[in-house]
Each structure stands twice: as structure tokens, then as C-alpha cells.
Amino acid sequence: MNVLHISAECFPIAKVGGLADVVGALPKYQKEIGVNSNVVMPYYNNKFTANNSFDLIYENAIALGHDYYNFKILKLKDSTLGFDLFCIDVPNLVYKEYVYSNDDTKRFLAFQIAALDWLLTLNEQPNIIHVHDHHTGLIPFMVQECHKYAALKNIPTVLTIHNAQYQGWFSHDSVNLIPPFDFSKVGLLDWKGIINPLAAAIKCAWKVTTVSPSYMEELKQGANGLESLLSHESAKCVGILNGIDWNVWNPETDKMLKQNFNHTNVITGKKGNKKYLCEKFKLAESKPLFAFIGRLVGEKGADLFPQIFEKALAENDISILLLGSGHKETEARLANINNKNYNSFIGYDESLAHVIYAGADFLLMPSRVEPCGLNQMYSLRYGTIPVVNAIGGLKDTIIDIKNDGFGICHNTVNVEEVTHAISRATEYYKNKKVFQKNVTKVMKINNSWSNSAQLYVNLYKSLQQTKK
């Protein structure tokens, strides 16, 4: 079976969030179980494309409304990713230093049209087209409705929703950018009077998955306007929990760590990494270290961090370290925290993130929305105890110590609740024997992709047997 993943992000080529990690790992695990999964993504002007060689395998022009743009399909020469990587270069449009900006409608339409134009020319077409989030959400519609793609119509399409907050809305004035289709079908593109690529994908894809079972249920109550659509389409929707790349995220071999370790020497291994962090960020090594890694946005609860941190630091003998960037106002408020037990790195640094997973004692994830969340799984693998709001994927992966589990959960996101969870964690840390036993235990929890990769393959197989 040949599966083509089409995505805006893929690790390590271009990463903004967890979408990249999923698309960079899932195909490898699908290959291991006998499915030929490969990836198509935009060709960005970034470090990865500058430092790697590509073969030009196809070249043509696409029509975007009345304009024509040349495009190239470039295949990565190096085969170490574990799957074939095809990048679509549309000079001056897709080829930019950034992944997302305010010209996304045109850029991602160009990308999607070029991808399908190219698929039409292949001798062997994929058996499944798997698209991710709204950036590639017009593909199921185009395959089904656009006259020029009639030859692709019988290829089953799967949409995975990594985050339903963003839907790619654009005005009906731009509908002519989409290749011609029977205009009586324009309603498939529309949701509440505007073109909505995510809604179009939910309507047209053969199957819709979300990245955790709980998130699937939550979306029926809160999906930024798509609740009734998801309830209506629920028969073809299923939640499949993400996994993590077990080889990339391995504290025993991770080259970014200051000291490698496994479950047999985790206590000393973590100490070495904590020492490095505490020296670098001038924090006291003896205190329990709480960390946050991620985007500073409302979904992650970041607007409350300044208040939470001040209160938690006043009430507990702890240190807090933050790595991330996002809303400027939150960044400015965090910069005003004047406490010797708090420090931050505003920006993103993959190596530092790895050391924090390894050196921190607790990872904070007070997310208001968390479709899956990968950070809690990375932290478990590195022996760091997650302190999470029990929603979405966090609910599906973390069990509270009260219930015989291994993490700290709270059920609401406000200053009181999160601070209370931090205090519970601090108390828990005091009993060294129990705490260290738990650290060793969480490292052994298997959140690798192996299980979920198989669930996706089962889903693909079920589609091959169905006629739509």
C-alpha cells in the first residue's frame, strides 16, 4: 500500500509545532509495518533546504485563477529520514523563510494544486492521500470535485485534525483560485458564509481522525464553530492517539543531552542535565525544577503564567524555567518577573528543549486546549513528571498519582488550580524514595508510535475495501 502524507510541516525540515513531529515520525513507523508512506511538503527557504541536496523530478506550471506560476517537485537525495520526501517549490510564493504568515491562502492553495497536478502525472498513484490540518484541507474537495482531478477521484482521502482552532478561512471572492468544479457544489467549501478549508476537508475526506480520542469528543462541544459539523459527520470520525519517535527521543542516545541515561541510572543522569541547566540559568540545584516548553499562547494557558509563577514561587520552595515565545504581551509580563528562582529563554532552541526534558523534575502543561500534546510524552520518556490540565490528549496519557498513576492532574485552568497542582507536586517531590521510584517507572511507559501507526494502517485498509 502506498500512502502519501501531504503537510505544511515535517520534522526536521520545517517545524512550528507538533504537526511537524507527527509527520516526521508516523511514515517511518508505517514503513516498519509494511506500508510505503512518504511525505509531500512545501519547499521553504530555510536551513534544512540550504544544507541538503534535492533532485529535480518534475517541473510545470499551475494556474491560480488567471495567473500562472512555475513549480518544481524536488526529491530529497539523502535517504536517512526513513521515507521519501518530496518538496514543492513555487518560487516567490511558497519558497519563503517562514512557514505561516498572512499570505497563506494563496501559498497553500498553490502548494495543494501543484501537489495534485503532479500526482496526475505519476504512473503509480498513492492508494491513500492523507492530509493534515487546514493547510492541506482543500485536497479532499479538489480530488472529489475538480474536473481536472477526475482521475484521482477514487483515491480515499484521510484528514487528520491536529488543531481545529485554525481553519484557513478565506472569502468567496477568492473561490476562482480553486480549479474549476461544478459550482452547485460550492456549499461543500462553505461554512457560515465563508470558505473554510478545514470544514471542507471534514465534509469531503473519507475518514477524519483527531490526534486523541478525548479531543474527538471535546470537539463536538467546542471546535471554534465546527461543533455541529463534527457531530453530523461523527460516523466517519475517530480519535487515534499520537505516539512519539522512540529513536529521536531516547535519553540513552540523545546527542543533545549533557549526560545520557536510561531507567537504570536515571537519577544520576538527570542530575547531570539539571546541573547544566541550573548553572546556565542561575537556579538553585537543590530545589525541584518546574519547566514549561512551548508557545506562549492562550491555548497553552500562557496568559496566566506571570500570575501562576509569582504565586507558586511565593508559596513553594521551587525553581521555574521557561522556554518558548509567542504573544508579545505575555513575553513582556514574563520579563518583569523579578525572582531569583525564575528564568527563561524566549525563543526556540531544540537542543535546549531536550536538555530541559532531561534535567527538569516536572513539566507544566496547563493547556486549555490540547489535541494530543507530545511534550508530556517526551517528558515521561526522560523521567520528568508532567503536571497537566486533564483535557484532550493529556487526559488520555496522564493518570494522577491519586489514582495509582504517575502524574499530577488538575481539571480547570486558573491561577488557583494550577498553583495548587504545583504545590501538590512539590509535596510529592519531598518523599525522595517514592518520587524517584516514579521517575524510573514513567521512563518505561511506552508511548512509541508502534501502536498508533498500526491503527492508521487498519483505517487505510478499511477504506481500500469500501467504495465511497
Binding site for ligand GLC (CB under 6 A): 17-19, 22, 162-163, 211, 242, 370-374, 393
Choice between 22 and 425, CB closer to ligand GLC: 22
Choice between 272 and 326, CB closer to ligand GLC: 326
Nearest-approach distance from CB 162 to ligand GLC, in angstroms: 3
Residue entry with cell 518583569: 336
Residue entry with cell 508505517: 30
Residue burial 190-225, b: 16+ Cβ < 10 Å; e: rest: ebeeebbbbbbbbbbbbbbbbbbbbbbebbbeebeb
Choice between 129 and 211, CB closer to ligand GLC: 211
Nearest-approach distance from CB 105 to ligand GLC, in angstroms: 21
CB 256, CB 354: distance < 8 Å = yes
Choice between 8 and 85, CB closer to ligand GLC: 8
Nearest-approach distance from CB 241 to ligand GLC, in angstroms: 10
Choice between 319 and 384, CB closer to ligand GLC: 384
Nearest-approach distance from CB 231 to ligand GLC, in angstroms: 21
Choice between 89 and 218, CB closer to ligand GLC: 218
Nearest-approach distance from CB 387 to ligand GLC, in angstroms: 16
Choice between 211 and 390, CB closer to ligand GLC: 211
CB 144, CB 204: distance < 8 Å = yes
In the three-class reduction of DSSP (H, G, I as helix; E, B as strand; rest coil), residue 83 is classed as coil
Q: Angle at Cα 422 formed by Cα 407 and Cα 389, nearest 5°?
A: 55
Q: Which residue is nearest to ligand GLC (CB)?
A: 18
Q: How far is the C-alpha of 407 from the C-alpha of 362, rounded, in Å?
A: 9
Choice between 179 and 392, CB closer to ligand GLC: 392
C-alpha 115, offset from chain centre: 22
Choice between 156 and 243, CB closer to ligand GLC: 243
CB 39, CB 83: distance < 8 Å = yes
Nearest-approach distance from CB 350 to ligand GLC, in angstroms: 16
Nearest-approach distance from CB 292 to ligand GLC, in angstroms: 15
> How many Cβ atoms sit within 10 Å of the Cβ of residue 123?
4
The CA-to-CA distance between both ends of the chain, in Å, stands at 18
User: Which is nearest to 423 in space by CA: 343, 315, 327?
Assistant: 315
The residue count for the chain: 468
Nearest-approach distance from CB 425 to ligand GLC, in angstroms: 22
Choice between 258 and 327, CB closer to ligand GLC: 327
Residue burial 398-411, b: 16+ Cβ < 10 Å; e: rest: bebbeeeebbbbbe
Nearest-approach distance from CB 161 to ligand GLC, in angstroms: 9
Element (H, E) at 29: helix 18-32
If you write DSSP's letter for every residue of 298-332 in order, what string do you get?
A: GGGTGGGHHHHHHHHHHHSS-EEEEEEEE-HHHHH
Nearest-approach distance from CB 252 to ligand GLC, in angstroms: 24
User: Which is nearest to 316 in space by CA: 432, 420, 438?
Assistant: 420
